[in-house]
Structure 1
Amino acid sequence: MVHVHAFGDDALGDDDAVGLVERLHAGEVGVEEVVDAAIARVEKVAAELNPVAFPAYERARAEARDPRPGWFAGVPTMIKDNVDVAGMPTMHGTDAWDPRPAKADGDFARMYLATGLIPLGKSQLSEYGFSASAEHPRLGAVRCPWDPERTAGASSSGSAALVAAGAVPLAHANDGGGSIRIPASVNGLVGLKPTRGRLAQDKTFRDMPIRIVSDGVVTRSVRDTAAFYREAEKIYRPLHLKPIGDLTRPGRKRLRVALNTTGVGRGADKEVTALTEDVARLLEDLGHTVVEAEVPVKASFADDFVLYWGTLALAMVGPGRLTRGRSWRRAHHDNLSLGLARHALRNAHRIPSAIARLKRAEGQAEHLYDRYDVALTPVLATETPRVGHLDPTLPYETIIDRLQDWVAFTPWQNVTGAPAVSLPLATTANGLPQGMMIGAPPGHESVLIELAYELEEARPFARIQD
């Protein structure tokens, strides 16, 4: 198995974002040389991994000459191509219309860039973020740096591939069914899906009937994730949530952990179950109490979630030319987007009751967290599939069935609005990262970050360059 990465002896070195900030602040490296090194690294892996949706290298070089203020000033990043950034097109992982630059930053990009991060461009995703694998028939597949024969996950696939390959230390991701946690798991990264409303968000996501999408980042270290939320909180502070604050070390409290490997309708395979149980034993060795528990979801949850996704697909595909202009090409959509939209149209009479049942999941989650502090599950039910397994040109019924076999754990937190983090704590027999997910009640990101620090210290994360 050949690893594809760009780590080397340049201005970025082996640093994570925090380490790079420390060297920038100390004057050991300059912003311009850091940005140039990042661009060179992106270009080094771009052909094999296909992670870039829109390059904006000259803009990044111009910003490097006069970086905006912020704690991350000068740190290169990528922004997922489903949020607006002024001057860059927003294509949502499709080619169904002609690109045109956004007139202004969206609410998320405005907050994100106010931390000082410098975007090198937009990262690729699966079409509208619906699939857990970005394999567009014309835009190509985004591939995993640990094994380019495998998918990089999705929908935040391009961002995760670039961070894992060492091209940038952290990158924007967002999550409407696992799209931060899935690519984090596949690429050996830390991926925290925050509580609903924790960060500023574009209007498209705010206006959903159920706000299942949360923005965040993928990183190579727990301290990078903690630093990002600390800095974001200085710019955007949701008053209804307890602040996360400046977290730099493990917590002291011993926790009650609910262990589950049965998932939402379809559970983990034998290997992933064993890897999850191994992490449960690690938690017990650290003094935490682990108890096997059922996730309190209704039998209808998976079907209701697919129908809700179909509703969102219909909203994206249905209006067509009215929202995207004369260049709109419905036929350019993949079979998953079209199939989801068709599924919603055929089952329109069931949509109100499905949404009502999904909204009740928030209360069901409260019952779990009355008894436990956190929940441990795998992120995904099986090892990362090869490119082609989730090919979006396959029949819709085949794709959706294979997706539900693989993505059996992550959607629950999207519906409940609770936070969850993927941590690279396991490796399969084939040498691939297999993320483990820890969830907590809404507003309790601090518990997850402190526990993540403890687990990272006890079991240091594998590095692709080693």
Structure 2
Amino acid sequence: MPCFEEYESFDAIGLADLIAKREISASDALDAALARAHALNPELNALTMLREDAARQAAEGRLPDGPLSGVPFLLKDLGAEAIDFPANNGSNLLRDTRYSQNATLIDRLFASGVNTFGRTTAPEGGVGCATEAAVYGGPTRNPWDLERTPGGSSGGSGAAVAAGIVPAAHGSDGGGSVRIPASSCGLFGFKPTRARLPDGPFSGEGWAGMAIEGFLTRSVRDTALLLDICEGADLGAPYWAPPLHASFTAAADATGKPLRIAVCETTLTGDPIHADCRTAVQDAAKLLESMGHAVTPACPQAADTVGMMTAWTDIVASGTALWVRKALAKRNRDLRPDDIENVVRSACAHAATISGDAYLEAVEKIHAYGRQMAAFFQDYDVLLTATLAEPPALVGRFSHDRESYLDYRLGPDGVFAYSPFTASFNATGQPAASVPLHWTASGLPVGIHLAGRFGEDETLMTLCAELERAQPWFAKRPPVRFRQDNSGNSGEPQ
């Protein structure tokens, strides 16, 4: 069957507009997405739990009439609780988990009319910066270079969007899990202010408030619309984010005022980063200055980033032990050798050493870090850094076969050395984004990272949209992508 050849030329809003005008049908869009999924996933290993028949039926007339009606979409295989989409949650222990109701976020997404046809791969428990969970039979690979990781924990979503399978996909971010794949895959990833998006009804907060939902997209306006669709506390939420002045979409369309931007070319603790990442920061600083912003070298070194990272590690270990214990209780059995991978097993062992008062002390350290960072932001509107300290890592470097969870997170070649920026703003709850402005000489994407003041999501969204207009990236496409032969048949990935 001929495939809608121009599919990848449109973002989600563009596809929705074509469908609304009946220039293409929802079935045309789905056919294009599925053709790419079948051609590309054998190499990428980014998709799981596909429900093609249900998606085809939905495309024929059962989709809500919302702002994204008919647009093909994917959910991350971690959280995102949905009745019609069982989940593995990156773990053999949680394989084929089924849900009795949808999460509030999922209800809001589905009401927008997206045509969801599957899930995207994630590392076990979401604790990694690469996506290589055993439950999927192998690593997920980056379409910019198949020897590289697309990042984690929303790595499957990053790979699927970058490869053009879908224009946008769901993700979540507890330590950079949207922004790390965005940087690794040449995409836009925005982490909103804490509690901006709903967590219920399955939880009140994730990882002591550090985790939040999000999206991977190729355009700023797609992320803005998806955030508008899902924004707002759910029933009984333990706390709310400060209200928006208007909307994310309005912010993306707006012209912003000159901002005071701090630029840090090192890690937040002063350590050097890879030359390509430093160049990305320097080039972004020059671009921002040319746009009329006041750019000043400054790093928040007074904030206890090392202490924050240690506290983050303890909190996430405790959260990991909790889901493992609950999963075993639900199954009424003891842990088996192949249930979980080494990093998660070690995280559970570490959690057993953390007393209740020590856990609360870790939460207090996170809160203190937020106050320290807020003091820095009294003098600046935005902080510019790299998203990662290096270009995308090779597959295998962050696999979960390591014996020590602490070494995996905190060691000299661990996650925090590789990603020393993103978790800071999960701890503080501030809005932050990875923007795809740089590619290395060998063609690997390198994101720059922007963090704004708590609650000032719209200021940050406006800045990201202005950068997109100043230095567009949408047309940049990875070497591994779908091709269609002249007969209209599905082609091979190239």
TM-score by length of 2: 0.87
**Letter matched to residue 95 of structure 1:** N
User: Equivalent residue for 1:297?
Assistant: 303
**Separation in 2 of the partners of 1:85 and 1:226?**
23
CA contact (8 A) 2:70 2:113 kept: yes
Q: 1:268 aligns with which of 255, 267, 273?
A: 273
Tell me by how many angstroms 1:214 deviates.
0.9
Q: 2:26 aligns with which of 22, 31, 46?
A: 31
RMSD: 2.2
Show CA shifts across 1:348-392 (max 9, x none).
Answer: 363221211111222222212211111111111111111011121
CA contact (8 A) 2:90 2:135 kept: no
Q: Which stretch shifts more, 186-195 or 92-101?
A: 92-101
CA contact (8 A) 1:97 1:324 kept: no
**Letter matched to residue 477 of structure 2:** I
Show CA shifts across 1:115-169 (max 9, x none).
Answer: 1111111111011110010112352111111111100100001111111111111
Do the aligned partners of residues 209 and 180 (structure 1) sit closer, same or farther apart at CA in structure 2, a change above 3 Å counting?
closer
Q: Secondary structure at the match of 2:7?
A: coil
Show CA shifts across 1:245-282 (max 9, x none).
Answer: 23243523011001123335455233312221121111
User: Equivalent residue for 1:144?
Assistant: 142
**Separation in 1 of the partners of 2:387 and 2:241?**
30
Q: 1:213 aligns with which of 211, 218, 224?
A: 211
1:57 correspondence with 2:52? yes
User: Equivalent residue for 1:346?
Assistant: 353
User: Equivalent residue for 1:316?
Assistant: 323
User: Equivalent residue for 1:5?
Assistant: none
Unaligned runs of 5+ in 2: 480-494
**Separation in 2 of the partners of 1:239 and 1:356?**
20
**Letter matched to residue 16 of structure 2:** V
Do the aligned partners of residues 74 and 214 (structure 1) sit closer, same or farther apart at CA in structure 2, a change above 3 Å counting?
same
User: Equivalent residue for 2:282?
Assistant: 277
Tell me by how many angstroms 1:331 deviates.
3.6
Tell me by how many angstroms 1:320 deviates.
4.0
Q: 2:71 aligns with which of 66, 72, 75?
A: 75
Q: How does 1:20-419 map to 2 (within 5 A)?
A: 20-65=15-60, 66-82=62-78, 83-139=80-136, 140-208=138-206, 210-233=208-231, 240-245=242-247, 246-247=249-250, 248-265=252-269, 267-295=272-300, 296-298=302-304, 299-326=306-333, 329=336, 331-348=338-355, 350-396=358-404, 398-400=407-409, 401=411, 402-419=414-431
Unaligned runs of 5+ in 1: 1-7
**Letter matched to residue 379 of structure 1:** T
Tell me by how many angstroms 1:76 deviates.
0.8
User: Equivalent residue for 2:477?
Assistant: 464
Tell me by how many angstroms 1:112 deviates.
1.4
**Letter matched to residue 241 of structure 1:** P
**Separation in 2 of the partners of 1:419 and 1:267?**
24
CA contact (8 A) 1:131 1:336 kept: no
Q: Which stretch shifts more, 324-333 or 423-432?
A: 324-333
**Letter matched to residue 297 of structure 1:** A
Q: Give the percent of matched residue pairs that are identical in Structure 1 and Structure 2.
A: 30
**Separation in 1 of the partners of 2:114 and 2:233?**
13
**Separation in 2 of the partners of 1:209 and 1:333?**
20
Q: Secondary structure at the match of 2:40?
A: helix
Q: Which stretch shifts more, 337-346 or 181-190?
A: 337-346
Tell me by how many angstroms 1:326 deviates.
4.7
CA contact (8 A) 2:260 2:380 kept: yes
Q: Secondary structure at the match of 1:78?
A: strand
CA contact (8 A) 1:314 1:344 kept: yes
CA contact (8 A) 2:4 2:29 kept: no
Q: Which stretch shifts more, 275-284 or 350-359?
A: 350-359
Q: Secondary structure at the match of 1:224?
A: helix
**Separation in 2 of the partners of 1:383 and 1:374?**
23
Q: Which stretch shifts more, 347-356 or 58-67?
A: 347-356
User: Equivalent residue for 1:446?
Assistant: 458
Show CA shifts across 1:393-412 (max 9, x none).
Answer: 13325533221210100001
**Separation in 1 of the partners of 2:241 and 2:358?**
35
Tell me by how many angstroms 1:86 deviates.
0.7
CA contact (8 A) 2:207 2:316 kept: no
**Separation in 2 of the partners of 1:319 and 1:227?**
35
CA contact (8 A) 1:164 1:188 kept: yes
User: Equivalent residue for 1:431?
Assistant: 443
Tell me by how many angstroms 1:208 deviates.
4.1
CA contact (8 A) 1:11 1:29 kept: no
CA contact (8 A) 2:274 2:390 kept: yes
CA contact (8 A) 1:80 1:124 kept: yes
Show CA shifts across 1:29-78 (max 9, x none).
Answer: 01111112211111111110001121111111111122112111111100
Q: Secondary structure at the match of 1:79?
A: strand
Tell me by how many angstroms 1:344 deviates.
2.2
Q: Which stretch shifts more, 219-228 or 327-336?
A: 327-336
